[in-house]
């Protein structure tokens, strides 16, 4: 049970509050006495103010709000001369249900007010918000001996309305309610009313409903309103997944895992999930849905280019068939190209695909006198639509002349094709300055792919292709990244400095698409060809990935200057800076949510066969929903652009503090060495951006790690997380967990937040610290505090003192054991 305000019976409010001391006690409880003692407008003013003040947030669902009940509340008071209802109406003639009691002059008061039965509507944790005024006993003339400044609130669970006649002692006490010092003052001219708000919660509830009861034992109270509600995480659509209204859990620290369902025409790789917190907030989004091929995302929904319907044959020869068709009725975006699939009838396993930007093609190299099946589909920026129905056409026999029957249509088709071509050419010329994607010219052979029993992989089967394997790096860029017209981009401000030039934020508006906030990396003027290649290399890599925890590439600008890489915008920038700025501000669950996201992104990369080599908090970006995404995919970046990278004895440049020993020693970079780096990122996250190994030199770090030393647990670190870090830092790389195991483990912790409550204990942290830093020159310092400050661990001074290490002599005598 938790209260929103300070608790405690009989707390006194500041003197001087609460009404006119010359009034009789019965008139002193507050506004409720106004109808008899003060003009009606004072109460109307109070109630109108209340109605504006008290609109419920959207994640709260009212089970009862006494202010909105139009008829009789049906509450019962006993004894009958205890609590009494003040029957007034507001300016709309709606009843104002205020109950008062003020028997401060009489001994042994025990006045009960029982609500009617309240259904909990399936919620197992409910909140009760009370608005009341409570008279300060000091201000009452006489009677101080019996006057109280508190009242009690109780509940009784019952499945139906038959439990009303239960005895007082069957009610369970929720709390003693006292007036809070934080109150709303409503200046009513001659009087100042102090309206207190107190909230209590009750749970877990196991029956269908409950009664509430308010017990007065001799105070002067006006209960102005009672609102009973539960909290829910309101239905949302995130990443194309619908998450339903979800009632929060019974426990105040419980997170409910909720599965989202993909909106129509979308699918998912990793099922979308979110967690509903006890406060009614959605936390830790996982996975996402993506529009199916051919469907485009628009305002949280997917619509597709409709299928091509009108396919006509043109010239038919013995080895070729020409076709033409019209743009789909509903392109739902700009059609970038068409894909034509054809095969000899009944030979579907051996088919050919041709891509064309135009609405005509000629399929060549066909067998004479054979029937061929054609299907066509359109592609927009969002992907492919569905294939058209099958169209069958037959080539002519070897000895026949060109197809006679098509002579007349040929003329018509030629005219049509000519007109279409002319239109396309004019359109092309006119659209020359408009913005949009244009597919880079490719070797015509590349446009035609043959498939036999799946020997060539269809698009969509994912493995990372190293752009180095392309002879021409420009080809790789255009294979994996869309070309964007510079006129679609608005640069707004500089947000960072990259190795190749400035990083800016801005907006991207592609035709037929919503405007997006984006980050724009620019290539500075005067670049060398190698710099251009390396710069665009990152886009060639990034463009191959599609995962909610990997930074998403929107496209590249290569046809004009400056050359740019355009990615999704991450409002909170790089994770290390963000954590340093917000030291101590997040719940453990939020931190684990960040780590889970990074691990999911890394799992995806390792599944794709991509080894990152420079995984560090500085290379993770974080957005406004605290979703973390892996970034920084330079071709040779580890060697070149990371300021943390240092030359090793073998000549390589490596970010020592983040890198596994085998990668430092003999350049063995694998997903297992990425797991080591992930452990360091975990440490950075839990310690809010602390520098791993503090001010130790790289040489000392290499030596210490080789000798078996590991980073000590960050402060307040859940034991389960530190254990996972240590697992990631196993010397034997095969013993380290795989990324999918890390993701599952973090999911388990998120589902069971109580498992994160056990923290690494202070004394074990001290011994690790001593093991880490004791041998490293501690003799040069005069005091333990000075030494700890020097190694940036001043915050541990208290723990050292508590554990008996109060002098440098004591520290110097510590052995590793
Ligand atoms: P980089 O060259 O990728 O290391 O980027 C340099 C800096 O620019 C980063 O440290 C971020 O602060 C910022 N930055 C890069 N990409 C983005 C993005 N997509 N969204 C927001 N900030 C970014």
Distance CA 147, CA 107 (A): 9
Pairing of strands 311-316, 301-303: unpaired
What pLDDT digit, counting tens, does each position of 511-526 carry? 878 899 999 999 998 8
Distance CA 673, CA 618 (A): 17
Indicate which residue's Cα is closest to atom 17 of ligand 1: 519
* Spatial contact of 65 and 129, defined as CB atoms under 8 Å apart: no
Average confidence (pLDDT) over 444-448: 37
Average confidence (pLDDT) over 451-455: 36
643, pLDDT greater than 60 = yes
pLDDT for res 499: 83
DSSP label at residue 26: G
What pLDDT digit, counting tens, does each position of 213-228 carry? 999 999 999 999 999 9
- 614 flagged as catalytic: yes
Confidence of residue 161 (pLDDT cuts 50, 70, 90): confident
Report which secondary-structure segment, H or E, holds 201. Answer: strand 192-202
**CA torsion, points 511, 515, 519, 522, in degrees to nearest 10?**
30
805 or 124: which leads in pLDDT = 124
**For residue 500, which atom of ligand 1 is closest to its CA?**
2
384 or 240: which leads in pLDDT = 240
Three-class HEC string of 106-140: CCCCCEEEECCCEECCCCCCEEEEEEEEECCHHHC
Calculate what percentage of the chain has a pLDDT beyond 70: 76
Expressed in angstroms and rounded, the spacing between residue 602 Cα and the centre of ligand 1 is: 19
pLDDT for res 139: 76
Confidence of residue 189 (pLDDT cuts 50, 70, 90): very low
What pLDDT digit, counting tens, does each position of 459-508 carry? 333 688 888 888 777 888 988 999 999 999 999 999 988 888 999 999 99
6, pLDDT greater than 60 = no
Expressed in angstroms and rounded, the spacing between residue 498 Cα and the centre of ligand 1 is: 7
Distance CA 653, CA 644 (A): 9
**For residue 572, which atom of ligand 1 is closest to its CA?**
21
Q: Which of 495, 506, 627 to mutate to test the pocket of ligand 1 (most atoms within 8 A of CB)?
A: 495
449, pLDDT greater than 60 = no
Calculate what percentage of the chain has a pLDDT beyond 90: 48
Expressed in angstroms and rounded, the spacing between residue 615 Cα and the centre of ligand 1 is: 14
17, pLDDT greater than 80 = no
DSSP label at residue 181: S
SS3 content of the chain, % helix, strand, coil (to 5): 30, 30, 45
Expressed in angstroms and rounded, the spacing between residue 504 Cα and the centre of ligand 1 is: 8
Q: Which of the given ranges, 748-752, 770-774, 790-794, has the highest pLDDT on average?
A: 748-752
pLDDT for res 606: 95
pLDDT for res 7: 26
Cα 454 from chain centre: 38
Distance CA 63, CA 120 (A): 7
pLDDT for res 768: 60
Indicate which residue's Cα is closest to atom 13 of ligand 1: 496
pLDDT for res 12: 25
53, pLDDT greater than 90 = no
Give the tokens for residue 566: 């355009």
**For residue 631, which atom of ligand 1 is closest to its CA?**
3
DSSP E strands: which ranges in 254-387?
256-259, 261-262, 266-268, 273-276, 282-286, 289-291, 296-298, 301-303, 311-316, 321-325, 337-344, 350-356, 360-363, 371-380, 383-384
Helices and strands (H, E) in the chain, number of each type? 17, 42
C-alpha triplet 709, 715, 719: angle, nearest 5° = 75
Least confident range of 36-40, 307-311, 364-368, 406-410: 36-40
Indicate which residue's Cα is closest to atom 7 of ligand 1: 496
pLDDT for res 660: 97
Looking up tokens 């999918």 gives 740
120, pLDDT greater than 70 = yes
34, pLDDT greater than 60 = no
Entry field: residues in the chain: 817
* Spatial contact of 538 and 636, defined as CB atoms under 8 Å apart: no
Indicate which residue's Cα is closest to atom 6 of ligand 1: 498
pLDDT for res 382: 63
Distance CA 19, CA 10 (A): 19
DSSP label at residue 421: H
Average pLDDT taken over every residue of the chain:
79
pLDDT for res 780: 57
Confidence of residue 806 (pLDDT cuts 50, 70, 90): confident
What pLDDT digit, counting tens, does each position of 190-213 carry? 445 578 999 999 989 999 999 999
pTM: 0.60
Looking up tokens 């590249």 gives 556
Give the tokens for residue 738: 């795989």
Give the tokens for residue 182: 């934080």
* Spatial contact of 738 and 606, defined as CB atoms under 8 Å apart: yes
pLDDT for res 690: 96
pLDDT for res 481: 93
Distance CA 589, CA 721 (A): 11
Least confident range of 55-59, 289-293, 629-633: 55-59
C-alpha triplet 233, 234, 236: angle, nearest 5° = 115
Q: Which of 498, 539, 637 to mutate to test the pocket of ligand 1 (most atoms within 8 A of CB)?
A: 498
Q: How far apart are the first and last CA of the chain?
A: 45
Expressed in angstroms and rounded, the spacing between residue 527 Cα and the centre of ligand 1 is: 20
Q: Which of 492, 519, 538 to mutate to test the pocket of ligand 1 (most atoms within 8 A of CB)?
A: 519
CB atoms closer than 10 angstroms to residue 627: 22
pLDDT for res 636: 54
* Spatial contact of 766 and 805, defined as CB atoms under 8 Å apart: yes
292 or 53: which leads in pLDDT = 292
Give the tokens for residue 309: 């319907």
Distance CA 35, CA 135 (A): 18
Expressed in angstroms and rounded, the spacing between residue 264 Cα and the centre of ligand 1 is: 34
Report which secondary-structure segment, H or E, holds 555. Answer: strand 553-557
Indicate which residue's Cα is closest to atom 3 of ligand 1: 632
Of the candidates 472, 445, 457, the one whose C-alpha atom is nearest the C-alpha of residue 533 is 472
Q: Which of the given ranges, 241-250, 354-363, 424-433, 590-599, has the highest pLDDT on average?
A: 590-599
pLDDT for res 463: 82
**For residue 551, which atom of ligand 1 is closest to its CA?**
19
Average confidence (pLDDT) over 413-430: 42
Helix (H, G, I), strand (E, B) or coil at 413: helix
Looking up tokens 């018509």 gives 412
Report which secondary-structure segment, H or E, holds 408. Answer: helix 407-430
Q: Which residues line ligand 1 (CB under 6 A)?
A: 495-496, 498, 503, 519, 551, 567-570, 573-574, 621, 631-632
pLDDT for res 136: 84
What pLDDT digit, counting tens, does each position of 64-106 carry? 999 888 778 889 999 999 999 987 776 667 777 899 999 988 8
Indicate which residue's Cα is closest to atom 8 of ligand 1: 496
Distance CA 726, CA 562 (A): 45
Expressed in angstroms and rounded, the spacing between residue 657 Cα and the centre of ligand 1 is: 21
Average confidence (pLDDT) over 711-736: 96
**From 136, 201, 576, 614, the catalytic residue:** 614
pLDDT for res 309: 82
Of the candidates 553, 344, 551, 379, the one whose C-alpha atom is nearest the C-alpha of residue 450 is 344
What pLDDT digit, counting tens, does each position of 646-681 carry? 766 555 678 999 999 999 998 899 999 999 999 999
Average confidence (pLDDT) over 433-456: 35
26, pLDDT greater than 50 = no
pLDDT for res 297: 74
Indicate which residue's Cα is closest to atom 16 of ligand 1: 519
Q: Is 581 annotated as a binding residue?
A: no
């Amino acid at each position: 049970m938790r209260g929103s305000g300070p608790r405690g019976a009989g707390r006194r409010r500041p003197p001087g509050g609460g009404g006119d001391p010359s009034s009789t006690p019965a008139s002193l409880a507050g506004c409720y006495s106004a109808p008899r003692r003060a003009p009606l407008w004072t109460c109307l003013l109070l109630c109108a103010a209340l109605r504006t003040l008290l609109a419920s947030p959207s994640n709260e669902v009212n089970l009862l709000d006494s202010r909105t009940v139009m008829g009789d509340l049906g509450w019962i008071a006993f004894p009958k001369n205890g609590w009494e209802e003040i029957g007034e109406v507001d300016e709309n003639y709606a009843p104002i249900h205020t109950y008062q009691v003020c028997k401060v002059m009489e001994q042994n008061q025990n006045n009960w007010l029982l609500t009617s039965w309240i259904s909990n509507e399936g919620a197992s944790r409910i909140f009760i918000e009370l608005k009341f005024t409570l008279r300060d006993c000091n201000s009452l003339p006489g009677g101080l001996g019996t006057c109280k400044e508190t009242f009690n609130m109780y509940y009784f669970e019952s499945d139906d309305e038959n439990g009303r006649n239960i005895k007082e002692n069957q009610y369970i006490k929720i709390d003693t309610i006292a007036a809070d010092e934080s109150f709303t003052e409503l200046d009513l001219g001659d009087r100042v009313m102090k309206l207190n708000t107190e909230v209590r919660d009750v749970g877990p509830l196991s029956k269908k409903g409950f009664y509430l009861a308010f017990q007065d034992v001799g105070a002067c109270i006006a209960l102005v309103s009672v609102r009973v509600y539960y909290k829910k995480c309101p239905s949302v659509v995130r990443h194309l997944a619908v998450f339903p209204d979800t009632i929060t859990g019974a426990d105040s620290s419980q997170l409910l895992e909720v599965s989202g369902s993909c909106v129509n025409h979308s699918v998912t790789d990793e099922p979308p999930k979110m967690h509903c917190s006890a406060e009614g907030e959605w936390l830790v989004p996982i996975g996402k849905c993506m529009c199916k091929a051919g469907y485009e995302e628009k305002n949280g929904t997917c619509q597709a280019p409709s299928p091509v319907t009108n396919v006509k044959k043109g010239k038919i020869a013995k080895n070729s068939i020409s076709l033409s068709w019209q743009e789909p009725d509903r392109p739902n975006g700009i059609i970038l190209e068409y894909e034509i699939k054809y095969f000899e009838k009944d030979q579907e396993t051996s088919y050919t695909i041709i891509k064309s930007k135009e609405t005509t093609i000629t399929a060549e190299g066909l067998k004479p006198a054979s029937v061929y099946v054609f299907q066509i589909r359109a592609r927009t920026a969002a992907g492919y639509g569905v294939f058209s129905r099958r169209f069958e056409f037959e080539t002519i026999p070897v000895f026949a002349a060109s197809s006679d029957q098509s002579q007349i249509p040929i003329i018509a088709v030629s005219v049509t094709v000519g007109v279409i071509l002319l239109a396309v050419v004019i359109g092309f010329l006119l659209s020359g300055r408009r913005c949009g994607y244009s597919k880079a010219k490719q070797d015509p052979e590349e446009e035609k792919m043959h498939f036999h029993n799946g020997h060539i992989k269809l698009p969509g089967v994912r493995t990372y292709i190293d752009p180095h394997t392309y002879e021409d790096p420009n080809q790789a860029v255009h294979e994996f990244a869309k070309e964007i017209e510079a006129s679609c981009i608005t640069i707004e401000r500089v947000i960072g400095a990259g190795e190749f030039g400035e990083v800016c934020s801005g907006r991207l508006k592609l035709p037929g698409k919503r405007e997006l906030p984006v980050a724009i990396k620019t290539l500075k003027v005067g670049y060398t060809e190698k710099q251009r290649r390396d710069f665009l290399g990152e886009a060639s890599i990034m463009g191959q990935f599609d995962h909610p925890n990997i930074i998403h590439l929107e496209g590249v600008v290569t046809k004009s200057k400056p050359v740019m890489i355009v990615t999704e915008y991450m409002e909170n920038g790089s994770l290390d800076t963000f954590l340093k700025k917000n030291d101590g501000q997040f719940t453990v669950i939020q931190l684990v949510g960040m780590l889970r996201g990074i691990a999911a992104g890394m799992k995806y990369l390792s599944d794709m066969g991509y080894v990152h080599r420079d995984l560090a908090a500085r290379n993770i970006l974080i957005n406004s929903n605290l979703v973390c995404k892996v970034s920084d995919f330079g071709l040779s970046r580890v060697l070149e652009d990371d300021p943390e990278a240092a030359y090793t004895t073998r000549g390589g440049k490596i970010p020592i503090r983040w890198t596994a020993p085998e990668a430092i020693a003999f350049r063995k970079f694998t997903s297992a060495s990425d797991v080591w780096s992930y452990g360091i990122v975990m440490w950075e996250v839990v310690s809010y951006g602390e520098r791993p190994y503090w001010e130790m030199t790289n040489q000392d770090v290499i030596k210490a790690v080789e000798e078996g030393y590991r980073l000590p647990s960050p402060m307040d670190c859940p034991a389960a997380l530190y254990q996972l870090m240590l697992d990631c830092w196993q010397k034997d790389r095969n013993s380290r967990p795989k990324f999918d195991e890390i993701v599952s483990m973090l999911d388990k912790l998120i589902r069971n937040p109580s498992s994160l409550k056990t923290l690494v204990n202070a004394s074990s942290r001290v011994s690790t610290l001593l093991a880490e830093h004791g041998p490293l020159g501690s003799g040069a310092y005069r005091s333990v505090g000075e030494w700890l400050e020097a190694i940036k661990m001043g915050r541990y001074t208290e723990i050292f003192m508590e554990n008996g290490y109060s002098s440098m002599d004591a520290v110097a005598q510590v052995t590793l054991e």
